Amino acid sequence: MKRIITIVGARPQFVKAATLSREFSVAGIDEKIIHTGQHFDANMSEVFFTEMEIPQPAYRLDINGVGHGAMTGRMLEGIEKILLGEKPEGVLVYGDTNSTLAGALAAAKLHIPVLHVEAGLRSFNMHMPEEINRILTDRISSVLFCPTDAALKNLAAEGFVNTAGNDPGSDRQKSGLNGAIPVRIVKNGDVMQDAALFYARKAAGKATVVKQLPVSRFVLATVHRQENTDDPSNLKGIVEGLNAIHRQVPLVLPLHPRTRNILQQSGLTPDFITIDPVGYFDMIGLLQQCEMVVTDSGGVQKEAFFFQKHCITLREQTEWVELTELGFNQLAGSDPVAIGEAFKKLMNQQSDFSVNLYGNGEAARKAAELIATL
Ligand code: UDP
């Protein structure tokens, strides 16, 4: 493939796309980006394009501020129109957002091969919109780029069979034979590790937020999952848990716009330090300097590991099971007691973070090289 369209829309996708866009120019692949507009605040979108030198989107759909159905539907319509005009050889989607699903659906129905990066991950919680998005996207993709062994196992358990064929379009047409789902499956590693390694060098000296904090020792937290923000008892438990950590070590939380809005209406009183969402360079600075990470983000769980920090995950499940299995990460849900216990345990734990779980920074290059051969 020499001409592809990439669909992005949400913050984690900008981080992932940055790594592949760079490799596409090396591999001689012409990439055009569609930005669906899911995230649009300057500090949730533009800052990533600028700092990470992501090519400016060729198309902007500006779809946001509506529910899941309307958002996915409008994106589907907008993306389909562009694909009909552009006729790309493949459509690249990342992760598990509404933009991912809309991009995959639009392409698959036009018989354009879908390339899914960060495929095969499962939380096994069908109440998460992300789980629905990733299962459906995998099912209609032609090439699944998997970051981990766990992702490969999940796909095998669902009946996906790796064809390793060179014609992804026809692989997909054969789907359903004997109950197996033939698809090209590639374990290329995790593109977010590529981003962390590459941009940590670039961010050196450019992270300013960490220097302006009123504290020198701190725990870094992020909270934005719908199952936490939209459930009052989960949010209350999390705020209590974070307040309790803050009484021991100051806790700093860059506030996702959704969480900010809901917290304002909730009557809850965070005692910890909240700041505006930060750009990627500042996030790297915070990850490097913090004592521990507490998060419900998928990406930040891994970044804690990349920057050699323990992590408490404010969820009941994680897709990044290797981190919990090896003790780098502990699940605590939204229960303040469990959050407190995890904090105590991890603060006293020494870990060797040198194990290679995510491919050590070659994931994007491997994916781009393969795409060039398709
Ligand atoms: N991130 C950031 N600034 C912030 C919070 C997060 O740059 O204030 C980055 C974070 O380092 C990671 C990405 O955004 O690379 C993760 O996005 P998010 O947590 O929104 O999504 P998820 O990974 O849960 O899908």
- Domains in the chain (CATH in brackets) are 3-190+359-373 (3.40.50.2000), 195-347 (3.40.50.2000)
Closest ligand 1 atom to residue 10 Cα is 20
Establish how many alpha carbons lie within 13 A of residue 245's alpha carbon, considering only the half-sphere containing its beta carbon: 35
Catalytic residue (one of 35, 224, 246, 310): 224
Judged against a pLDDT cut of 60, whether residue 172 lies above it is answered with no
pLDDT at 165: 55
Give nearest CA residue, ligand 1 atom 17.
12
Residue 221: pLDDT band by 50, 70, 90 thresholds? very high
Report the distance separating Cα 28 and Cα 9, nearest Å: 24
Query: How does pLDDT run across 116-161, given as a tens digit for each residue?
Result: 999 999 999 999 999 999 999 999 999 999 999 999 999 999 999 9
**Mean pLDDT across the chain, nearest whole number?**
95
Instruction: Kindly state the helix (H) or strand (E) to which residue 313 belongs, with its residue range.
Output: strand 311-313
User: Which phi and psi (to 5°) does residue 91 adopt?
Assistant: -120, 125
Q: Is 366 close to ligand 1, i.e. is its CB under 6 Å away?
A: no
Judged against a pLDDT cut of 80, whether residue 343 lies above it is answered with yes
| Residue (of 232, 238, 240) closest to 313 by Cα position | 238
C-alpha 11 – ligand 1 centre gap (Å) = 6
What does pTM read for this prediction?
0.95
pLDDT at 2: 95
Closest ligand 1 atom to residue 284 Cα is 11
Instruction: Kindly state the helix (H) or strand (E) to which residue 111 belongs, with its residue range.
Output: none
Query: How does pLDDT run across 266-299, given as a tens digit for each residue?
Result: 999 999 999 999 999 999 999 999 999 999 999 9
Instruction: Kindly state the helix (H) or strand (E) to which residue 16 belongs, with its residue range.
Output: helix 11-27
- Total Cβ atoms within 10 A of residue 286: 23
Give nearest CA residue, ligand 1 atom 10.
300
Average pLDDT estimate for 190-205: 96
pLDDT at 166: 45
Closest ligand 1 atom to residue 222 Cα is 5
Report the distance separating Cα 219 and Cα 222, nearest Å: 10
CA–centroid distance for 134 within its chain: 11
C-alpha 167 – ligand 1 centre gap (Å) = 35
Query: How does pLDDT run across 34-88, given as a tens digit for each residue?
Result: 999 999 999 999 999 999 999 999 999 999 999 999 999 999 999 999 999 999 9
pLDDT at 178: 67
